[in-house]
Amino acid sequence: MSRTASPHWKLALPLLGLAAMAAFAVPTQAAADGKARVVRVAAADEPYALVRGTTGSFDISGSSDDWDDVRAAQRAIDGEFIWFRDGGRSYVIQDPETLKRARAAWAPLDRLGELMKVHGKEMEKHGKKMEVLGRDMERAAAKPANLPSERDMREVDDGMQALSKHMDLLSRQMAAARDDAERRIIQQKMAETGKRMSDAGERIGEAYNGPQARQQRASMEDIGRQMEIANQPMEKLGKRMGELGKEMERESKAADKTVRALIRDARTKGLAKPVPTAS
């Protein structure tokens, strides 16, 4: 005997994790909230950051190891600037034209980041719905009180096996019976054993196919359908966020290339200055 539940809830549960991760799937949006935005960790050996003067946030091509240096520069400089490190020393560029071109390079990422943020919030909203349905499914899947325990089931199973062996023994005795009288006695024993096996089977069947068990299965199937419906917009959002992620990666590489060229040009023109000491 086995109990079968609707598979939809099992397939949908991993999406709860997806919804919970939605807020972390959009790191490029952090800059709009006044925090650091790590753009390319692979460029940690030649880091730079575009520091936004209005929000105090910055986009960094490097790693979080450089955040302290960038923040130290923020404390020493008012307004917007480009920070970068070369030969172990930190420099800043405050040339308006260079900053304008750097902002333009990152503008597509800012736009895509806003879209990603919107999708992330929508994913979180659907994820909360799925989480509620998941809890409902867990409650619905709980074994009804009138169902036998695992221990009871093992005992019934052991009893059924014992009855089956006894029936096999009676069958062999029947084949070896010497006369009709002996066969009638064995037939009576076989009938009694068969009745006990049938009664045990009916008890189990009634437990798992009774009104409470049928109601449980119906409830689980209904929740499974709701989860299937709730999953559809999450699948679409997940696909769209994946596409945005790829687009952001392409734009990030393009912007990174542009800003690095701007830094080289500014250094050639003498526009890069050592980071001043905070007063």
The predicted structure's pLDDT at residue 43: 55
For residue 176, report the phi and psi dihedrals to the nearest 5 degrees: -100, 5
The predicted structure's pLDDT at residue 144: 58
Structure tokens belonging to residue 154: 């093992």
User: What letter represents residue 181's amino acid?
Assistant: A
Asked if 116 and 206 count as a contact pair (C-beta separation under 8 A), the reply is no
The predicted structure's pLDDT at residue 266: 95
The predicted structure's pLDDT at residue 93: 96
The predicted structure's pLDDT at residue 19: 37
For residue 278, report the phi and psi dihedrals to the nearest 5 degrees: -65, 135
β-pairing verdict for 81-86 and 48-51: antiparallel
Measured CA to CA, the distance from residue 232 to residue 222 in angstroms comes to 16
The predicted structure's pLDDT at residue 32: 41
First to last CA, the chain: 78
Measured CA to CA, the distance from residue 57 to residue 83 in angstroms comes to 13
List the pLDDT tens digit at each of the 279 positions of the chain: 333 333 333 433 343 343 333 333 333 334 444 455 555 545 557 899 999 876 667 788 877 788 888 888 988 898 899 999 988 889 999 999 999 999 999 999 889 888 988 988 888 888 888 888 888 888 877 755 555 566 666 666 677 677 778 777 877 777 777 777 877 887 787 777 777 767 767 766 666 666 777 787 788 888 888 888 888 888 888 888 889 888 988 988 899 899 999 999 999 999 999 998 765
Please name which of 268, 276, 266 lies closest in space to residue 79, comparing C-alpha atoms.
276
Residue 235 CB partners (closer than 8 Å, separation 6+): none
The predicted structure's pLDDT at residue 44: 55
Structure tokens belonging to residue 242: 């994946």
Note the pTM of the prediction, 2 decimals: 0.58
The predicted structure's pLDDT at residue 271: 95
DSSP designation for 2:
-
- In the sheet that 58-61 helps form, which strands lie side by side, from edge to edge? 36-38, 58-61, 48-51, 81-86, 89-93, 272-274
Asked if 62 and 49 count as a contact pair (C-beta separation under 8 A), the reply is yes
Identify the H or E element spanning 84: strand 81-86
The predicted structure's pLDDT at residue 26: 35
Identify the H or E element spanning 60: strand 58-61
Residue carrying the six token digits 């598979």: 7
